[in-house]
């Protein structure tokens, strides 16, 4: 139940960022759906790439 509420809030948050705030990805300028904090927003593509890079870097140790 708690998970469902959190998931619902996440959808609202994405909708708000994309349609009301019209947040733009700080990397590529596309409509952003993820808030990073410090006033920065990121689109799903860049979040995916950043995540892939982080995995790559951590596996090089
Ligand atoms: Zn982006």
d(CA 47, CA 42): 6
d(CA 39, CA 53): 22
Residue with more model confidence, 45 or 35 = 45
Answer yes or no: is pLDDT of 1 > 80. Answer: no
56: Cβ contacts below 8 Å, ≥ 6 apart: none
- pTM listed for this prediction: 0.62
Q: Tokens 């790439």 appear where?
A: 49
Distance 36 CA to ligand 1 centre (A): 12
Distance 61 CA to ligand 1 centre (A): 27
Distance 2 CA to ligand 1 centre (A): 30
Distance 34 CA to ligand 1 centre (A): 10
């Amino acid at each position: 139940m708690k998970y469902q509420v959190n998931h619902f809030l996440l959808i609202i948050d994405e909708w708000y960022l994309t349609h009301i705030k019209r947040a733009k990805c700080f990397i590529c300028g596309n409509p952003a759906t993820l808030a990073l904090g410090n006033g920065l927003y990121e689109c799903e593509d860049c979040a995916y790439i950043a995540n892939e890079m982080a995995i790559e870097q951590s596996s090089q140790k």
